[in-house]
Structures are given as C-alpha cells and as structure tokens.
Structure 1
Amino acid sequence: MADLTFIEKTKLEKLLGMGGGYVLDFSNRTLEEFVRQSVRKNIYDEVYNYASGSKANRIRAFWDREPNSVVGKLLADLLEYREFSNPSRDEESKRLYQDCRRIAERLSSGCAVGQASTTTSEPVLERPSAREQHLVALGQLKAELEALFVQPDRQEAGLKLERLLNRLFSLFNLAPRRPFELVGEQIDGSFELDHEVYLLEAKWERKPLREKELLVFRGKVEGKSSFTRGMFVAMNGITQEAEAAIRVGKQPTFFVITGHDLMMILLGSLPFDEFLRRRRRLLAEEAAVTAHFDRVAQ
C-alpha cells in the first residue's frame, strides 16, 4: 500500500483529472497499455477492480495495493505524460504540478510521509495550511460520495447524500438549513449565497429525471417569495423533455446540478461558491437550467 495522505491523493486526483471516473485523456485501451509499459502491471486485473471499476477507481485501487516504489514510478510517468500533453500554464497549475512531482519523487525514493526525498531540496511542510485542510475536508466528502455510488440501500444513500450536501454547504460558509416541513410540502433544505436564499431538492434515481419531480420543485420555489431561487441536485441528470417542460411559459427559477458536477467540485476543480455564482449567472442571462461543468469552469 502506497504511503499517501488525503492531501496528496486530492492533489494527484485534481492534476490527473480523475473526476467522473477519468484519468487524463486515456481510454481503457491506452491506459492499460501505458500502465503495462510503465510498471509491467495490468490495470484491468481483477485486483484493481474497485467500486465502479472506472479508470480513476482502478488507479485508486492501484495506490492502495502497490508499494511506494511502484506507485511512485507510475505517478512519475503519468505526470510526465500530463505535462507533455497539457503543459501547466497558470501559476496555480504549476505549483500543483510541482507538488505532485515531489510526491512521486518521495514515493520512488522510499521515503515515508513527512520525510524529504533525496532527489529534492524542497522542505517538507509539517503543518498543513488552511487550504490544505480545506482540501482534506473535500477529499473526505469525495470518498463518502464514492461510497454512496455502490451503497445497496438507495434510500439510505439518498439520506446520506442530503447530509453530505449540508456539510459541503457548511464548508463554504453557505449557511445551510437541514430538511424541514411546511404545510403540505417537504423541503430537502436550503442555503444562502450572497444574501440570497436557495431552496434545495436532491434526487438520486438510476436514470435521468423526468419532468414530474422538477415541476413539483418549481411549484415549491414559486410558492415562496419572488426572489427565492432553487437548486435541484439530480445525480444522474434530467431528460431533455424535462428541461423543456420546466421552461415552457415561465422563467426558470432554479438550476440543476449533477453527480458529475459534485465530483468535480469535491476534486477541487472549482470552488463550490464560485460554481454556484456562475450557474446563477447562466440562469439569469440564458435561462440555462442545465450546464456542463466544463462550460461553467471555463
């Protein structure tokens, strides 16, 4: 098992683009070939079949099963490929890349956490910064979300998702309120962004949601004040028919986010509060109920 901390894993996953099950731009075939050439291992061996079996989950299983030297070698090769195919341009990306290089060097040299690699003169920070503590908290939420994907009791998974969202709101100081009841209706919760209140609804169905649940939520939002907005978490998205239905004849008052959006946020790809502000702007300017994360993050 490789000696990796939560912070280190979070940094590596962000740099390697492991949100949504991916690893950089690899296909199943090219990832298998790359790993085999790098460390003479078959990443599609059953021993690496963790959770959904996605490319990202197989790399996570590889980290958990292989020793420091092997993981360090593969990471060094992945980082070299990443920098060749998509060089770091802004200062934050460059710092993240250098941090990940030091992680790979430490593992390759056999050093444990907290020990400096002999290949670098960079000091090892013993006390995590506020940003690193924030990344740890995001990493913990991400691990919990991944576990929910394979939770056999889907009703229990839905309840745990609500609690996870509440903690995510708290992490970004969004003043969350837990689920509450009004006369004749149940509200999954609410939060506050820039002094504006948003109602929350979360559904985790196996297929994209149809219009029924969304129309009910629209009624809940419209039944409050004229300035109330909403956020609907549909883990597997919504159908095109549903999106069209909630826009017919009315201005949309809420936007939809997906499980992919959540995973990218928990990977640290975009701060949650900034993500919400950009979604709010798209809703106001374009009546965009849905928007792919890549578009929001650009």
Structure 2
Amino acid sequence: MPKIKPLDMKLLDLLFEMEQGYVLDFSNRTLSQFFLGELEIDIDDPLFAADGTSKARRLRCFLTLADTTTCVRALKALWQYREATLSSQRKSEPVVHAEGRFLTLIRGLEAGSISDDAIGNPFAAVRQVGVDQSAQLKRALVEIHKLAPQARGYAFEIFLQQLFEASSLQPRAPFRNTGEQIDGSFLCRGDIYLVEAKWVSNPIGVGELHILQGKINEKAAWTRGVFISYYGFTNVGLEAFGRRKSLICISGKDIHEALEKQIPFADVIDRKVRAAAETGSVFVPVGELF
C-alpha cells in the first residue's frame, strides 16, 4: 500500500476540499461515476467505508488500502479534474504552491523512499538534506554565494547532484572522456541527459552552448543535454544557437523558483523538454511553465 504520511493526507484534504467530508464538487453519485468511468474502481465498496461513509472518508480509506500504482493513478485523475474545474470556473489557485506540492507528493509515492545518504566531502553542508528538502537546498545556494570562485563551482556541482538525487534522477558524478569534461549525467523518464553546469559572473553565450551540443552529437543518438547556468543565458546567444537542438537550458532563477514552489526537478525537466518540442526554444523559464 502507498506510504501516505499524515502531513501528505492534510495536503490532499486541502487540495480536494475534504476537510468537511466532501471531495471537490462531487456528489455521491458523480463521485461513484468518476471512479467507475475514469479508474474502473467501485468507491462505494463497503471496504472503503470502514472509517465512515462520507465521500472524504471513503477516499482517505481508499488511499490507505490501494496499491501505490492505483493510488497514484487516482490522485492524478482527481488533480486533472480539479484543474479543469478551476479553469472552467475561471478561479485562481486557492492553495499556495499547490502544483509543486502535489507533484512532490506524487514523486515520493512513485519513488518509494528517497535516500538521503551523503558521502563525506568538504562541502558537507551543501549535501545534507533534512525533512524540508526545498528549504535545505535553498539555504545551500545561499552558502555557495559565500565561497571563493573556485570552491563555488565545485560546491555548485555537489549541490546539483543532491538536487538530482532528491528527484530520484540517478545522477552520475563528473567524468572525463578523451579530450572532454562532462559535469555529470542523470536519468529522467528513461532518457540520459549530459550535464554542463556553470557558476560564472556573466550569462552564458552561444559558444558554450555549441560546445555542449557538440559533445552530445558525439554520443548515442538518444542522448540529451542540460546546460545549467546560474546567471542564465544571453538573449543574443540563445537566438544565435537556434532551434532543433537536443538540449535544454536551466538558469539559477529556474532553480530558485522550482525550490520555492516545491516543484520536483524531474517535472522541471519534463516541462522544459515538452516546451522545447512544442516551441523549438531551448530555454523557456520555469515561471512560464508552472
């Protein structure tokens, strides 16, 4: 069964308006129809009424009894219904950072338990992740600012590896091939991404983007790339770099916004890749995607 913690259930109560026993705008009949039609699940089964017969109590009971895959499928369906309802009624989002918090919950269920083991290193404070990972990572970025330039770049690589680990992206540390340095890689949705990371005082221009694209072109056809520049990219460089490339760009501001909104990094990658596919642009800010 899924490991939904009490605080996670409180978030679901808030998102799906379950505090008073209701679930969104569903009646008993429409909730039954929704679960049967969308999920092929009989939410009226007496098994789910062990703690009471209200819609919210039956849903909570279902979420504690169902297997993780079914639980995630149901939560995603309810979220889509919620989003469609808010849009049709032209209502603004009533819950602070709702999407990021929901996606974090889903990632946690899908990943099981996330390891927070850290290998000792001179920047141990950067690697430590406590209960509130977003807060820890935001503080780590502040600490990196205080370091000398050379140490700052190394600490940023460690920070990014921790960021990838927190989203279960199976990161690999920096490695060197003949004649080239790769700042690491990770796995997202079955795709391998090579990483180039820069913490320099100026935005990145077209030359460095072409260098990463060249490294990608020398690898297997399914390889993708992520260029992470803390101080962003020049508009001229992005325009000159062009479209139809196999990499996406992420700025420090993107990272800050994702942490602030509690958006798992895997979802940042997903939205960036989809935006690149739909628009051809290698850099669409997180603020425009969530």
User: 2: CA distance between counterparts of 1:259 and 1:235?
Assistant: 4
> 1:142 — aligned with what?
138
Partner of 1:183: 178
The letter for the 2-side match of 1:283 is A
C-alpha distance after superposition, 1:237-264 (max 9, x if no partner): 11112112222xx621101101111112
- Counterpart of 1:256 in structure 2 is 249
Give the Cα–Cα distance (whole angstroms) in 2 for the partners of residues 91 and 215 of structure 1: 39
Identical pairs, percent? 30
Which of 283, 287, 290 in structure 2 is aligned with 1:294?
Answer: 287
- How do 1:73-152 and structure 2 match up within 5 A? 89-90=94-95, 93=98, 136-151=132-147
1:155 equivalent among 138, 150, 162: 150
In the other structure, the counterpart of 1:109 is: none
Give the alignment of 1:1-298 within 5 angstroms. Answer: 89-90=94-95, 93=98, 136-151=132-147, 153-247=148-242, 251-297=244-290
- 1:198: Cα distance to partner? 0.2
4+ residue segments displaced more than 3 Å = 90-93
Q: Tell me the distance in 1 between the aligned counterparts of 2:237 and 2:178.
A: 26
**1:171 Cα shift?**
1.0
SS of match in other structure, 2:132: helix
* Contact 1:252–1:289 (CA under 8 A) maintained in structure 2: yes
Letter in 2 for 1:165: L
Contact preservation (8 Å) 1:135, 1:268? no
- Name the SS of the counterpart of 1:165 in structure 2: helix
Distance apart, 1:177 and its partner CA: 0.3
Structure 1: which amino acid aligns with 2:135? G
TM-score (normalised: structure 1): 0.54
Q: Deviations over 1:40-73 (max 9, x none)?
A: xxxxxxxxxxxxxxxxxxxxxxxxxxxxxxxxxx
- Matched letter for residue 188 of structure 1: D
Q: Over aligned residues, Cα RMSD in angstroms? A: 2.9
Give the C-alpha shift of residue 269 in structure 1.
3.6
Q: One-letter code of the match for 2:163?
A: L
Contact (CA 8 Å) 1:162, 1:202: kept in 2 or not? yes
Gapped runs of 5+ residues in structure 2? Answer: 1-6, 8-90, 102-112, 115-128
Contact 2:130 2:136 in 1 (8 A): no
Q: TM-score, normalized by length of structure 2?
A: 0.55
Contact 2:97 2:262 in 1 (8 A): no
Deviations 1:15-35 (A, max 9, x none): xxxxxxxxxxxxxxxxxxxxx
Name structure 1 gaps, 5 residues minimum: 1-6, 8-85, 97-129
Q: In the comparison of the two structures, how many residue pairs are matched?
A: 176
Contact 1:166 1:176 (8 Å CA) reproduced:
yes
